[in-house]
Structure 1
Amino acid sequence: MDWQVVEGYVFEKMRKTNLPGLSIAAVKDGEIVYARGFGFRDVESGAPMTTQTRVGIGSVTKSFTALATMMLVEEGKLSLDDTIDKFVSISLRPFGEPVRLRHLLTHSSGIPALAYAEAFIRHVVGEDAPWLPIASVDDLKAFMSDAESWAVAKPGEKFFYLNEGYLLLGRTIEVASGKSYEAFVKERILEPLDMTRTTFRREDTASDPDWATPYVIDRDGKQIPSRFPFGISADGGLISTVLDLSNYLRLYLARGKWKGTQLVSPESIEQMETPYVPLPSPLFGAEGYGFGWSVYPNFLGHKLVAHSGSVLVHTAFAGYIPDAGIGVAVLANASGHPLSQIGMVTLATMLGKDPEMLPFVRHDKLLEKLVGRYETYKGTMSLQVSRKGDGILLETKGKLLESSIPFLPEEISDTYARFFTVQHSRKVVAEFFVDGEKITLLYERYKLVKVG
């Protein structure tokens, strides 16, 4: 396979979003078929990112927590129908219905995100955020003392991503196993899989020269060295490398077997990969959340099992396609271009598909094409189209006056795009027509043509 398509995509997205460093590893049929680092693990020293560079994997940790839960279910120490109050002294009964382990695993407790992790991470990196003294599950219980009043649905009815629920699962694992959450994960998952560079411990990174400096990309695109939010655990605290994560992906692709040893049953793996609750805003049609994994039943004709992770200063993506025997792990030391998109482009390429079949690749390409200066008839008026995330800005600037109006996408194809905004309580539309290199914009009373 020619990896130039993937490498070109990675480099361009890193360049445009100022990502300092990125590492990637791909597996196929039980082997690592590609692995390399891009850019810098530390910009100041010029140290490169490598396939062994340690990076926080954020919420990819949730799949480890779910896997640990399933191991204890297999041993009869837990049941998916156990209520959380059996293990943690906390009242979680939204609308009178008890929250069970399966609800926490699938983010279907009915309680919307309480944003403890968001506040904690933003505070650690120096952003404006309230201080939350949550250093343990006992602290979390105090924080969640009236969380059930925040619920908007009965358990099992609706997806609401809940980091706090995975912390409660971590405590459940401790009660059921008689070991700390971190010790159980290390003993039952990390050590058997030879994931020797995966850790929860700050001490391991402090003495490691191949540790990715965490960066915040500020509003001006500057790379600001920052701090890593140690203290998060079962919901997003693991630190790993793409090579270690490739072992983890191969466990799933081998249906729970590693080097001849069955660490978890194929049935448990399949339960984790089953979508139980629909995800909002699907990308490829009907999608759902399993146990610690998002499930995309129709990713270019295949089932994709994947998860992203972010602690703001480190980001991650891990995903695999069971029937094709392929998987990919991506890590970076800042928040820039979505690593999920880099991972999906890689998987599409490994399937032998053109990445432009992916909707976000096509949309991104068209948006870039729309950027430029537009003029009306004989240049009587001009405006600038610039990009703002997945939307656009229509801007005019003169000596005395200027305006900048954000528009959101409503419909995008290869030859047509419609965006909208609201002005003076009315919907205003901007339509672009693409005919080769000629691009026409219809906006309110005007017809404009791209001239530069």
Structure 2
Amino acid sequence: MLLRGSRRALLGFGLGLGLLAGCGDDSAPSGGGGSGGSGGQPSSTTTDMGGQGGEAIDPRFNPVIEALEAEMAQLDTSGAAIAILEGGEVTFARGFGKKNPEEDAPVVATTLFRIGSTQKMMTATAVLQLVERGQLDLDEPITTYVPDFAFNLDPTWAPSITVRDLLTHQSAQYDYLKIDTPQVGDEALGDWINGYWSNQGYLMAPSGRMWNYSNPGFMMAGFVAETVSGVPYRTYMAENVWGPLGMNRTFLLPSDVIADGDYASGSTLHWDTGEPMIATPDSYDNGWARPAGFAFSSVLDMAEFVKFLRAGNPSVLADQLRTQMFAEQVDTEIVPGEFYGFGLEAARGFFLHGETASEIDYYELPRISHAGALQGFSSDVFYFPSLDFGFITLANADGAYFRDTLEVALKTLVELPAPSTPPDLSVDPADYPLYVGDYTDPWNVGAISITTDGAELLISIELADNYDIPYDHVLEPYAPNNFILTIQGVELPVTFLFDEPSAAKYLRTRYFVGERDATARTVARTDAERAANLFSALEEARRDRPIALR
């Protein structure tokens, strides 16, 4: 049995799940705290809790503060905010560092950051409201509600996608995103769906067959909601989700954020040139991608959403549908026990470091979470129902996920039970023949060949060979049916999926899906077109995991 890639397995590639902490170090803590801010004061009167503004810090939060300051230095993050909820109440909320890496104004608990894909749980809430009102059915095709939409490349695709598929990342739509576009009006979403995406969008697999992260799936969900409600997505969210939940400083328009005044700017790379830059609220915008994660919020507003997940709000959504948001809607088939609900990740347990650095403990306790990333910003939302504990962080840097700090918070603020028996993450080379065969992806990489020498699982990608794209031919195992493909310096999770136990049917990555014996599938693109698309996807993945919406 192999457990060679066990650390990757625990980290849960693709979802940011599993082991809640990274490799800690002994870096000295770096600045943070303080009150006030540049560019004006927040419109909210809420103040920081836990030490800012002259308030005394409850000493039980000192380990969390020390861990977050150390992790900020480790992650090269200039500014961050954190909120901790215990028993449904915010017991600690504070800013650390600077709002702008090049200025001195301090982050406070009310400071606004872009939240990336943590917004998906909010888009899902909007759609489920319309289900509750009888205006949508989760299992109806999307064409029931947007009858004029069609994929021009194959008219059978759109009717095959259900509303449920959109909310669970099972629509199989290729993951596509532009960070900045001139299309920023409320009409942009419908124009893009019925224009560009109708003409250029495609499915990488049969809809409903597998979980595969797709931002366009949530863009489509937002379009369905705005079409059925008759209200633009931005207005619908403010009036039906954020407003009723008390999230009065959650915005989609950069102009609203600038007018508010209390906002962070992020350190990042330009999405086209790769040059270092500081992303201010108006550095980029995209009107048609908003349902997937372009909002700005604070840890205090995000805490209001965690309170909603915890205890509900019947004026927003019936409990029966709210609890379905974090139910096990689809198995991600990555790490055992990891599922996706409606806009939320749902897991049966989590890993923490044990008493020594080499020990890993597993706790079979449910976890609800989602991470977010957009150029210059990172977000994390966690809620542990059986512990009644919530943890939220926002940061103005790429890849700034404070998993060490979360681990410290769980170990020092929560009474954890004894560790449980962990899921079996071992990979047996005796299973490699189940993966061996020829797979085809007509959209992105073409022919894929999987072989084995008995000890290693090997991959050959004809397109990469023809275009001199460097990749490691050895797939590194990290969990049952899951491997890592290193291509052009980027580590891509690869999952083999089965229709029958005798042989894998699909080879899945976020950016391409190969199907075994796909004789009925036509060649959809030339090699040159596929190579250009692969280069683009790898460049996006290289700047991530921090950058593309997730």
Report the TM-score, using the length of structure 2 for normalisation: 0.57
Contact 1:94 1:110 in 2 (8 A): no
- Give the alignment partner of residue 135 of structure 2, picking from 65, 73, 77: 77
1:117-128 residue pairs with structure 2 within 5 A?
A: 117=177, 120-121=178-179, 124=180
| Alpha-carbon separation, structure 1, partners of 2:88 and 2:263 | 27
Asked whether 1:210 is paired with 2:262, we answer yes
Aligned match of 1:166 in 200, 218, 230?
218
> For 1:310 and 1:96, how far apart are their aligned partners in 2?
28
Kept after mapping to 2: 8 A contact 1:156/1:277: no
Change (3 A) 1:275 1:70: same
Work out whether 1:43 is the aligned partner of 2:101.
yes
Q: 2-side partners of 1:248 and 1:159: how far apart?
A: 25
Partner of 1:230: 285
- Counterparts in 2 of 1:143 and 1:195: CA distance versus 1, 3 Å: same
- Comparing 224-233 with 66-75, greater Cα deviation is found at 224-233
Which residue does the alignment assign to 2:208?
A: 156
**Equivalent-residue separation in structure 2 for 1:193 and 1:310 (angstroms):** 23
Out of 158, 162, 166, the position equivalent to 1:100 is 162
Structure 1 residue 223 displacement after superposition: 7.0
Q: Distance in 2 between matches of 1:155 and 1:249?
A: 30
Q: Does 1:9 align with 2:67?
A: yes
SS at match of 2:93: strand
Asked if residue 52 in structure 1 is aligned to residue 110 in structure 2, the reply is yes
- Cα offset, 1:23, TM superposition: 0.3
Residue aligning to 2:4: none
Q: Note the residue ranges of structure 2 that are not aligned, 5 or more in a row.
A: 1-58, 351-362, 423-471, 479-483, 488-550
Higher mean alpha-carbon deviation, 51-60 vs 80-89, is at 80-89
Aligned mates of 2:333, 2:230 — CA distance in 1? 37
Q: Give the Cα separation in 2 of the matches to 1:421 and 1:136.
A: 35
Map 1:130-145 onto structure 2 (within 5 A).
Answer: 135-145=188-198
Indicate the RMSD between aligned Cα atoms, in angstroms: 3.4
Corresponding residue number in structure 1 for 2:245: 193
Give the match's secondary structure for 1:305: strand
Select the residue among 220, 224, 227 that pairs with 1:175.
227
1:183 Cα deviation (Å)?
A: 1.4
Contact map agreement 1:21 1:40 (CA 8 A) in 2: yes
Name the amino acid aligned to 2:149: I
**Aligned partner of 2:366 among 295, 303, 317:** 303
Contact 1:94 1:153 in 2 (8 A): no
What is the aligned counterpart of 1:316 among 353, 375, 379?
A: 379
Q: Any idea what the Cα deviations from partners look like across 1:321-357, whole Å, max 9, x if unmatched? A: 2222221211011113324665465445443359x99
Map 1:345-424 to 2 at 5 A: 346-347=409-410, 349-353=412-416
Match of 1:91 in 2: 150
Looking at CA atoms only, which structure, 1 or 2, has the larger radius of gyration? Answer: 1
Q: Please state which structure has a larger fraction of its residues in strand.
A: 1
- Quote the offset at 1:74 in angstroms: 0.7
Residue of structure 1 in register with 2:400 after alignment = 337
> Residue 27 of structure 1: SS of its match in structure 2?
strand
2:145–2:227: 8 Å Cα contact kept in structure 1?
yes
Aligned to 1:33: 91
| Equivalent AA in structure 1 for residue 89 of structure 2 | E
| Residue 104 of structure 1: how far off its partner (Å) | 0.5
Q: Tell me how far apart the structure 1 counterparts of residues 117 and 337 of structure 2 sit (CA, whole Å).
A: 22
CA distance in 1, matches of 2:415, 2:485: 36
- Deviation readout 1:179-221 (Å, 9 max, x if unpaired): 1111111111211222121111222112233110122169xxx
- State the Cα distance separating 1:71 from its structure 2 match: 1.0
Give the aligned residue type for 1:292: G
- Give the aligned length: 348
Confirm whether residue 66 of structure 1 aligns to residue 99 of structure 2: no
CA distance in 1, matches of 2:165, 2:403: 25
**Structure 2 vs 1, CA of residues 17 and 95 (structure 1 numbering), >3 Å: closer, same or farther?**
same
Q: 1:337 to 1:94 in 2, by over 3 A?
A: farther
CA contact (8 A) 2:245 2:316 kept: no
Query: Aligned in 2, Cα 1:111/1:201: closer, same or farther, shift over 3 Å?
Result: closer
- Output the CA distance in 2 between the equivalents of 1:348 and 1:180: 44
Contact kept? 1:87, 1:171, Cα under 8 Å: no
Q: Give me the identity figure in percent.
A: 27
CA–CA distance in 2 between the matches of 1:301 and 1:209? 43
Q: Partners in 2 of 1:411 and 1:174 — Cα distance?
A: 43
